[in-house]
């Protein structure tokens, strides 16, 4: 009866068109939807599972129904709280169709690479002083690179000293550094009267003094500039042997002259580390039994200010190595013993005769290299390398005092033994031609075709490829600055490292920023391009990334690498390379790596274990490229305070 009445009512309601209205239809539709919804929610309530959400004591958000752990910035992962469920008589199985099971708790945890003991805060693996004592002291061989075996490699993260701070920004950093970053006062005592470094309050100050420039590095450079032209851009790259705290190189930067400074690990405590804290290019190194890690014809100027290298001994082998790395027409500058010994011999506590013999030995070696002595004025002496070897070859035929090297690649310089033979310059036709090709003055040199490329000596690299590479890296550097705000912030970074530089395009793209870039050409690279990088007026070094770099921890503010891990994929442990990167990167420094996506996924997993903040971004040309870009930031952390370390040991 009820159904009949409802049907009659519905029929009258829908058939009577004259009485139909908009509001009546709306009420009917609303009534129908409400009725359906009521029955749906009644059924849902009957079969529902109660979900609880809790916050763990360590800050991890845990959703028990779905078993998801939402990570917060903490060090431990808590287990999810068991869910509370109702017990309906009939239970529908949605789990197997809608949820992916969680991995076991051990697999879900991110591995953690532990920190090293605080005593390793200045660990330099290949220049470790304890290991070096096992090697001969003759010719300073014990101060060369001696890297640990694979079994000796530390697989932990090197801590920064307690109280470490981000270095002062350039140019303020040239003149000051935080004491907590380099806690060594030895030089402030040993070189107190020479103004190398002074200690004041919580920082060191660098007045710019040196053993042979008591009036300061700037005045000393002015003296050099009065003897050779340092203003026209022809002198752009320089090398400073036995650099001290690198004040010479620091003050040349304002004159657009880029200097590689080096000194041994233990001659004076932390001298190279001071240089790097100042934001000045430097490496740990020594001229001993192997070549310097630079190509031939790299530097426009070489310098030694009382660097204590026995230039005239061992058949002039050390000065012969300087000749190899000097460009045609380059200068060698010497100050200190034995120059001007007639005035200083008493202060140097040496006899006139021994100093005269030393100077005669240097003069003889320089002549055998066909160098011309340009000038000796007061405490400075300057020699110049010839622009070609036409006259030199004639001279050697007559005097036969130094043969030319044969069947040697002059650019090979990774554990390559020194030789006393003279590295020949590339052949020329006319006497005025420059061996290997002339270089443009700076800054035109940066974008001019490097002579090594123009002559075709770098197989497979054409001038057109060089130009395309230069433009490509301008776009890439601009894109990087959108990915890493710290790189975009002018002055945030100072010391940069490019792990696989190719033609130096990345460094060239940043030339107007207040940074310097150490361009590395891996010894495993298919083409040795480091010579072309120097011909652009940039600096760099060779490196095998299966070994540690010759530098202190926390050297670089930013590290860049293009296809580094693809290059070393089957050569050594990826974790070891990343730990070396972590060692030489400053706290809160950044890393940008570009590589195949599969390679970067593996890299990211290790970087996460080192507690870097990482993300993988698309290629600058879009998401469809297999090559991706990993951006990472090293977290700030330091060794605990000394009193806490002492308590833990007691």
Which tens digit of pLDDT belongs to each residue from 66-98?
Answer: 333 333 333 333 333 333 344 444 444 444 444
State both tokens at 401: 């005092």
Q: Which domains does the chain have, with CATH numbers?
A: 121-399 (3.40.50.150), 444-642 (3.40.50.150)
- DSSP-assigned beta bridge partners for residue 558: 496, 590
Question: What is residue 105's predicted lDDT score, i.e. its pLDDT?
Answer: 47
Q: Three-class SS string for 81-131?
A: CCCCCCCCCCCCCCHHHHCCCCCCHHHHCCCCCCECCHHHCCCCHHHCHHH
Question: What is residue 347's predicted lDDT score, i.e. its pLDDT?
Answer: 92
Predicted confidence band of residue 447 (pLDDT cuts 50, 70, 90): very high
| Phi and psi angles of residue 154, each rounded to the nearest 5 degrees, phi first | -75, 130
**DSSP state at residue 168:** P
Question: What is residue 9's predicted lDDT score, i.e. its pLDDT?
Answer: 41
State both tokens at 296: 């031939």
Could you tell me which of 301, 203, 215, 204 has the C-alpha nearest to residue 245? 204
- d(CA 69, CA 63) in angstroms, rounded, equals 7
Could you tell me which of 267, 264, 268, 270 has the C-alpha nearest to residue 284? 264
SS3 state at 261 = strand
Based on the number of CB atoms within 10 Å of its own CB, is 452 exposed (0-12), middle (13-18) or buried (19 or more)? buried
Question: What is residue 104's predicted lDDT score, i.e. its pLDDT?
Answer: 52
Summarize the confidence of residues 20-48 as an average pLDDT: 61
State both tokens at 59: 């800050």
**DSSP state at residue 41:** H
- d(CA 446, CA 468) in angstroms, rounded, equals 14
Measured at the CA of 476, the angle between CA 526 and CA 553, to 5 degrees, comes to 70
Place of tokens 């190189």: 249
SS3 state at 443 = coil
Per-residue pLDDT at 64 exceeds 60: no
**DSSP state at residue 450:** P
Give the CA distances from residue 5 to residues 12, 14, 31, 38, in Å, rounded to whole numbers and listed in that order: 11, 14, 18, 24
Summarize the confidence of residues 196-222 as an average pLDDT: 93
- d(CA 201, CA 370) in angstroms, rounded, equals 51
Summarize the confidence of residues 284-302 as an average pLDDT: 97
Pick the more confident residue, 625 or 87: 625
State both tokens at 318: 């050390």
Summarize the confidence of residues 556-584 as an average pLDDT: 97
- DSSP-assigned beta bridge partners for residue 254: none
CB contact set of 617 (below 8 Å; sequence gap of 6+) = 483, 628, 629, 630, 631
| Phi and psi angles of residue 249, each rounded to the nearest 5 degrees, phi first | -65, -35
Lowest mean pLDDT: which of 96-100, 174-178, 418-422, 555-559?
A: 96-100
Dump pLDDT digits (tens) for 217-230. 999 999 999 999 99
């Amino acid at each position: 009866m009820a159904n009949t009445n409802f049907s009659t009512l519905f029929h009258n309601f829908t058939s009577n068109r004259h009485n139909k209205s908009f509001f009546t239809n709306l009420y009917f539709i609303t009534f129908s939807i409400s009725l359906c919804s009521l029955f749906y929610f009644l059924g849902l309530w009957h079969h529902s599972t109660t979900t609880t959400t809790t916050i763990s004591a360590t800050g991890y958000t845990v959703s028990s129904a779905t078993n998801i752990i939402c990570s917060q910035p903490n060090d431990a992962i808590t287990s999810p709280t068991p869910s509370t469920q109702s017990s309906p008589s009939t239970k529908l199985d949605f789990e197997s169709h809608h949820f992916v099971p969680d991995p076991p708790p051990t697999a879900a945890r991110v591995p953690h690479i532990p920190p090293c003991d605080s005593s390793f805060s200045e660990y330099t693996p290949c220049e470790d002083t304890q290991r070096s004592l096992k090697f001969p002291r003759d010719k300073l061989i014990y101060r060369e690179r001696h890297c640990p075996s694979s079994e000796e490699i530390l697989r932990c993260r090197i801590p920064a000293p307690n109280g470490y701070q981000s270095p002062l920004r350039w140019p303020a950093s040239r003149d000051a550094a935080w004491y907590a970053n380099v806690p060594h006062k030895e030089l402030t005592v040993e070189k107190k009267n020479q103004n190398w470094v002074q200690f004041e309050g919580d920082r060191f100050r660098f007045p710019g003094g040196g053993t042979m420039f008591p009036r300061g590095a700037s005045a000393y450079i002015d003296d050099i500039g009065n003897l050779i032209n340092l203003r026209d851009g022809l002198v752009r790259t320089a090398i400073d042997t036995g650099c001290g705290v690198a004040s010479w190189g620091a003050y040349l930067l304002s004159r657009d002259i880029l200097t590689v400074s080096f000194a041994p690990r233990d001659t004076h405590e932390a001298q190279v580390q001071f240089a790097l804290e100042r934001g000045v290019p430097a490496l740990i190194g020594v001229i001993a039994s192997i070549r310097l890690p630079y190509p031939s014809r790299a530097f426009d100027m070489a310098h030694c200010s009382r660097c204590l290298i026995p230039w005239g001994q061992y058949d002039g082998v050390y000065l012969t190595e300087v000749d190899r790395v000097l460009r045609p027409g380059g200068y060698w500058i010497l100050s200190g013993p034995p120059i001007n010994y007639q005035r200083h011999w008493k202060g140097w506590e040496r006899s006139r005769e021994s100093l005269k013999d030393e100077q005669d030995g240097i003069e003889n070696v320089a002549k055998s290299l066909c160098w011309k002595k340009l000038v000796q004025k007061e405490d400075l002496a300057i020699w110049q390398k010839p622009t070609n070897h036409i006259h030199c070859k004639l001279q050697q035929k007559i005097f036969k005092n130094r043969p030319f090297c044969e069947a040697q690649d002059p650019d090979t310089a990774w554990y390559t033994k020194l030789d006393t033979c003279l590295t020949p310059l590339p052949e020329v036709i006319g006497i005025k031609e420059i061996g290997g090709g002339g270089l443009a003055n700076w800054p035109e040199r940066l974008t001019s075709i490097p002579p090594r490329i123009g002559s075709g000596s770098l197989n497979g690299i054409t001038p057109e490829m060089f130009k395309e590479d230069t433009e490509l890296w301008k776009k890439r550097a601009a894109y990087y600055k959108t990915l890493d705000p710290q790189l975009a912030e002018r002055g945030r970074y100072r010391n940069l490292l490019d792990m696989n530089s190719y033609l130096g395009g990345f460094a060239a793209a940043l030339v107007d920023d207040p940074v310097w870039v150490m361009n590395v050409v891996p010894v495993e690279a298919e083409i040795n391009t480091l010579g072309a990088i120097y011909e652009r007026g940039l600096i760099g070094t060779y490196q095998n990334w299966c070994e540690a770099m010759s530098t202190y921890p926390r050297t670089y503010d930013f590290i860049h690498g293009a296809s580094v891990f693809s290059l070393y994929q089957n050569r050594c442990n990826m974790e070891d390379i990343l730990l070396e990167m972590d060692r030489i990167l400053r706290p809160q420094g950044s890393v940008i790596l570009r590589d195949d996506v599969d390679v970067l996924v593996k890299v990211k997993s290790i970087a996460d274990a080192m507690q870097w903040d990482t993300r993988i971004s698309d290629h600058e040309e879009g998401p469809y490229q297999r090559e991706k870009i990993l951006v990472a930031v090293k977290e700030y952390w330091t060794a605990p305070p000394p009193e806490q370390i002492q308590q833990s040991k007691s």
